[in-house]
Amino acid sequence: MSSGQIRDGALVLADGSVFEGELIGAEHVVASGEVVFNTALSGYQEIITDPSYAGQLITFTYPHIGNYGVNATDAESRGVFCRGVIVRELARRPSNYRSEQGLGEYLASQGLAGIAGIDTRRLTRLIRSQGAIPGAFGGLSESELLVRAQQESGTDGVDLVSTVTTTDSYTVGSGHRRIVALDFGIKTTILRHLGSLGTVEVVPASTSASDVLAREPDGVFLSNGPGDPGMLDSVSREVAQLVGAVPLFGICLGHQLLGRAIGASTVKLPFGHHGGNHPVKDLTTNRIEITSQNHNFAVDADSFTGLERDVHMTHVNLNDGVCEGLEVRGAQCFSVQHHPEAGPGPHDSIYLFDRFAALMDAQRSSGKAVR
């Protein structure tokens, strides 16, 4: 472990499965939540600080985590919103010129519990066969941890966006394009890319469509975020009023909310997509991209049939056929389920930010609202 005395503990799932390990991070904290796995080989700090993991325990499938430490620059949000971290082996001595502290110390400083020594291969196979499942770990007895796990509701039917969104508007970037970004749990790397396109005003998730349009944006961005999009119908109704009024670009939860805004339905995936190696096909170009992903819900492309608007699936996940992108034709409006900004992950899909910029420029040159 990174420091201190080794503390024995256990991870217990809601089905009664038990995994023995060693507790790391914040002492005397019992962590519980929906257990998911991430297949990325690096970028553990970005993953832990991604607000989209709110309500979840993150299992890293890569066996050795923490080897290059943690630094202030690589955080994807103002803190951590996941419930805990599960690893096979925690690096004892991080080594990297950018490292400011070890992962164990970082978890403790954030009040976040972790558990190491877990058979993550067995755990991942169980999640793949049974789906994402609630769990709990800590220094309690196995029977007490089982109760904690079974009391967890998972992410179904829960509004987690309200726990991660900003409470006050703020501005990042500079430039002639004016962008309003609705914050459902926005990542720092997304803001960095948007900020390179223009001046970005980040607003709370509850901001109304009329308030957004009153800011006279050239484009509106719908951010990533955690939880069940079905619990955000009030947000979807506001997004519906933006479709056709201004160029729109959505990522992750923003994609799902756009789908629901135009009348499509969303579904929960068995164990979601979490990692940096998912193959996606851009149906508009037939190009294959390796993408970064983090979501448990998805837009049902079968529900596009019969919608009032002309909606088309633009991207598809080649692993399981899940809808990875949509376009509302005639409305200068598109979204993707994967993360083109990466952070961490490959940058194959970074061109989507340029596509958004082109839509905004076309809007500015027309001098009138989109019809």
315 is annotated as an active-site residue: no
Helical axes 233-242 vs 253-261, angle rounded to 10° = 70
ω before 51 within 30° of 0 (cis)?
A: no
Distance of alpha carbon 155 from alpha carbon 157, whole angstroms: 6
Query: Residues near 298 by Cβ (< 8 Å), separated by ≥ 6?
Result: 256, 266, 267, 269, 322, 323, 337
Nearest to 100, CA basis, from 148, 147, 150, 66: 66
Nearest to 96, CA basis, from 53, 22, 48, 44: 44
28 is annotated as an active-site residue: no
Considering 34, 105, 252, 289, which one is annotated as catalytic? 252
Q: Are 240 and 3 in contact (CB under 8 A)?
A: no
Tell me the H-state helices in 110-262.
Answer: 120-130, 142-151, 188-197, 209-214, 233-242, 253-261
**Beta strand extents in 300-343 (DSSP E only):** 311-317, 323-328, 333-336
Nearest to 178, CA basis, from 199, 164, 207: 199
341 is annotated as an active-site residue: yes
> Which residues are identified as catalytic?
252, 339, 341
